[in-house]
Amino acid sequence: MLEVLQIPALKDNYIYLIHDDQSGETAAVDPAEAGPVLQALAANGWELTYVLNTHHHGDHVGGNLELKRRTGCRIVGSERDRERIPGIDIAVGEAATLKLGSFEGRVFDVPGHTRAHIAFWFAAADALFCGDTLFALGCGRPFEGTPEELWQSLEKLRALPPEAKVYCAHEYTESNGRFALTVEPENTALKARMAEVLALRQQNRPTVPSMLKDELATNPFLRPESEEIRRNLGMTNADPVDVFAELRRRKNAF
């Protein structure tokens, strides 16, 4: 079994510990800070094998060096971003694989938010760790890439099995959903999901992970083919990437 432990960090980040109970190997995904990871490891009696970084931003790699110093773990990051991943030991790219005990993680290159963003897909556990590329009801800003690059990255992720669990790195779902309702207000699945999101947040409970099938039904950034979205944007006959770019432009100003 691949166990996933979600650790809140900073203001709205999530760090994940993934643990193979047979081998005892454990990986920390995007450790914003070391302290909460070390506490969780101690509480569970786990030893850290790897750090998996999706991209170089400080709120994803801030704990790298202390975790490496304290645990001797090996740090995995994009081969195209070696100079910006602190302490990197293993550089990976598209279609590379990483063993965590009996589980195999596949790497996807998903640039757009940053030039060298990657995601980790553990097919046997239906678990996608996608950093800031795909959020619950949203997606990352294309800081270092173009909307076209980010859309191509999202196309890779939306082709995964619908039962995939999407472990994104931030609790942005409520604000993302409020934007989604401005462009697809008649989407009944979206309205129902937002009611669930609001109920969870009122109890200070996480809305992450989400299911990819729910993202496909409600996340506007995976739905540029939606007739309602196109109609509300005045882009009925536009190319999907142009619709996506307009959605991202509007979200930036939302």
Q: Note the pLDDT of residue 88.
A: 98
State the Cα torsion 99-104-109-113 to the nearest 10°.
-90
Q: Is 170 annotated as belonging to a binding site?
A: yes
Q: Is 117 annotated as belonging to a binding site?
A: no
Q: Note the pLDDT of residue 123.
A: 98
56 is catalytic: no
170 is catalytic: yes
Section 61-85 average pLDDT: 98
113 is catalytic: yes
Q: Assign 3-class secondary structure to 41-109.
A: HHHHCCCCCEEECCCCCHHHHCCHHHHHHHHCCEEEEEHHHHHHCCCEEEEECCCCEEEECCEEEEEEE
137-173 pLDDT, tens per residue? 999 999 999 999 999 999 999 999 999 999 999 999 9
59 is catalytic: yes
169-212 pLDDT, tens per residue? 999 999 999 999 999 999 999 999 999 999 999 999 999 999 99
19, 55, 56, 117: the catalytic one is 55
Section 87-102 average pLDDT: 97
Q: Note the pLDDT of residue 38.
A: 98
81 is catalytic: no
CATH H-level superfamily of 2-252: Ribonuclease Z/Hydroxyacylglutathione hydrolase-like (3.60.15.10)
Q: What average pLDDT is seen over the chain? A: 98
Handedness of CA 131, 132, 134, 137 (dihedral sign): positive
Domain ranges (residues) in the chain: 2-252
pTM (global) more than 0.95: yes
